[in-house]
Amino acid sequence: MNAITLVIAAICILTIAYRLYGIFFTKTVLKINDDRPTPAHEKNDGKDFVPTSKWVAFGHHFAAIAAAGPLVGPILAAQFGYLPGYLWLLIGAVIGGAVHDAVVLFASMTKGGKSLSEVMREELGPVAGFCTGLAMLFIITITMAGLSMVILGALAENPWGTFAVAATIPIAMLMGIITKFTGNLKLSTIIGVILLVAAVFYGPYIQGTWLGDVLTLDRETLSIILPIYAFFAAALPVWFLLAPRDYLSSFMKIGVFIALIIGVFIINPTIQFPAIIPDFLGGGGPIVAGPVWPFVSITIACGAISGFHAFVGSGTTPKMLNRWEDIRLVGFGAMLVECVVGVMALIAATVLHPADYFAINSTPEAFAKLGMTVVDLPALSEAIGMDLEGRTGGAVTLAVGMASIFAGVEWFSHLTKYFYQFVIMFEAVFILTAIDAGTRTARYLIQDFLGNVYKPLKKTDWMPGAIGASALACVMWGYLLNSGDIASVWALFGVSNQLMASIGLVCGVTFVLKVADKRIYALTCFIPLVYLYITVNVAGFWMVKNVYWNDAAGGFNVLNGVLSIIMLTLGLIIVITSVLKWRELWKHPRFTKKAVA
């Protein structure tokens, strides 16, 4: 199988889906038209609610939803072969993810740009609203731990990569200061990009120096540094670090994936993985412990369907859209583009020899039990200049896979180590951007919850409250980060993330029943909801029984099991509440669109 075949097939399927199903869902099911102003116009305050060009809004939304998830999930799921992950990416994105993102965005805009928890409170009552808000707090906390786990394998004992990633912090701050006090975005961009490239190329020269020794960190040290960093990132003003880092990372994302797509079309590498690896379909794999179902749909969250998108779709994006019909491009379309990112990540993993892939993504002890012999990994390790075995988490696999694709170009072989470290920095910066935003979101949720007990906490600009809530958020996900491995933590992230997506689809069914001409159109949200909700519960209880509460398992962790049970219980309460609401809507004539507003 050639990689170009998978890429062309995916692009064709997703393009057709956007053109046909996207129009049907937005125009026929949701009945979207531009007969009234969007919240961006109704509440235009020049700060949060601002009418924005659909392409600018698309760029913002895509940058926010397409973080590390679509890069890591498909790589870890390659354990089952390339076919299960490839099929789930395409089917999940078209039937589930794009529908989820569009309907959550529509629901939030219909309610004036409110968050999903507020929307659920208004539609399903205070119990569902409270459970949704609490679930969102759990999910964003687990998400931070899952994403941070990816960085550990990439930067551990890697002073070059650690230096390059660390350098992005003062670079982003410098860009923020220049933009804030001069208003010259072009100047700050030029300076930021130049310094970014310089950080990658200067990296080799610190190795063997005192600075290199300081930046040679083990996993345990990094797992403490990351939450400390996140505390300051969440407490600092947005313009000082978060916004310029997000802006800077967008250049890296665009550049890397354009290069990868071009590389696949020019070099056309061969997929070395089999379509299916039978040994692990029933479970027992060294990377994903569970069976192919439900865990292919749990491991690949972002890229197919992701509840994390609901934070964005009911957060900043609904306050930006200039026209209602922009929902199709921004909500439905951005999800399909993220699916392409997931497909490219899957290809980067599967162009490697399976033995090389498992050597990177398994612990040395687990790999030894597989009875495999590495093939190209020694040569790749020599070209990159570091030992690649046992660097779990997916980030290293993506960098190595991309480097191996470009190794087909003769002159590129001299730049392999630079390209590898650039991709590591590319991934780490995206993850840190998500950690910045996610920790800040967790801080807001904590302040909102605890503010019901102590009123001043409700004020997000109250410094003691902001500092205390930020610290609590970092302690919560920092503990999870230090208490498990990538297999257990990523599975916990996958279950929580897909549960959040189920909640988004619950909201979708409710709104379709209220606005659609035919109630049968509710199946557009109900079918993916049924599959995803069953999948989440099966995966959650499997992990609790076989891993979290099994003292013989490597991922034994009572807290993770407790968190899983709490989240699944919250999901059950929300579903029961919603079914009662659906019965009411089914018995009565549909509401007018005016009633929904």
Q: Is 389 helix (H, G, I), strand (E, B) or coil?
A: coil
Sign of torsion, CA 558 146 241 194? positive
Q: What number of helices (H) and strands (E) belong to the chain? A: 28, 0
Q: What percent of the chain shows pLDDT beyond 90?
A: 32
**In this structure, what token pair is assigned to residue 328?**
């199709």
Rounded Cα–Cα distance for residues 300 and 192 (Å): 33
> Confidence class of residue 584 from pLDDT cuts 50, 70 and 90?
confident
Instruction: Give residue 440's identity as a one-letter amino acid code.
Output: R
pLDDT surpasses 60 at 505: yes
Provide the pLDDT for residue 482.
Answer: 81
Rounded Cα–Cα distance for residues 188 and 443 (Å): 29
> Confidence class of residue 513 from pLDDT cuts 50, 70 and 90?
very high
CB < 8 Å & 24+ apart, contacts of 5-9: 6/82, 6/86, 6/271, 6/343, 6/346, 6/347, 7/261, 7/264, 7/265, 7/343, 7/344, 7/347
Rounded Cα–Cα distance for residues 142 and 350 (Å): 28
Rounded Cα–Cα distance for residues 551 and 331 (Å): 43
Please report how the helices 126-155 and 463-482 are oriented relative to each other, as an axis angle in degrees rounded to 10: 60
pLDDT surpasses 70 at 282: yes
> Confidence class of residue 350 from pLDDT cuts 50, 70 and 90?
very high
Q: Please, what is the average pLDDT of the chain?
A: 85
Provide CB contacts within 8 A for 584, sequence distance 6+.
none
pLDDT surpasses 50 at 36: yes
Contact 100/501 with Cβ under 8 angstroms?
yes
- Which range, of 110-119, 161-170, 237-246, 274-283, averages the lowest pLDDT? 237-246
Nearest to 150 by CA among 302, 338, 261, 271: 302
Residue with tokens 């929580």: 496
**In this structure, what token pair is assigned to residue 268?**
């056309």
The rounded Cα 105 to chain-centroid distance in angstroms is 17
Rounded Cα–Cα distance for residues 341 and 306 (Å): 14
How do residues 107-146 score in pLDDT, each as one tens digit? 999 999 888 888 888 888 888 888 888 888 888 888 888 7
Provide the pLDDT for residue 411.
Answer: 67
- Region 211-239: what's the mean pLDDT? 84
pLDDT surpasses 60 at 312: yes
**Over the Cα atoms of the chain, what is R_g?**
23
Longest dimension (CA), the chain: 74
What is the CB-side half-sphere exposure of residue 339 using CA atoms within 13 A? Answer: 34
What would the CATH number be for the domain defined by 3-157+217-587? 1.20.1740.10
**In this structure, what token pair is assigned to residue 39?**
């919240």
Domain range annotation of the chain: 3-157+217-587
Provide CB contacts within 8 A for 186, sequence distance 6+.
none
Higher pLDDT, 337 or 421: 337
> Confidence class of residue 308 from pLDDT cuts 50, 70 and 90?
confident
Rounded Cα–Cα distance for residues 352 and 522 (Å): 42
Q: For residue 282, with 0-12 CB atoms within 10 Å meaning exposed, 13-18 middle and 19 or more buried, which class applies?
A: exposed
Q: Can you spell out the DSSP letters for 459-508? A: -TT-HHHHHHHHHHHHHHHHHHHHT--HHHHHHHHHHHHHHHHHHHHHHH
Higher pLDDT, 87 or 320: 87
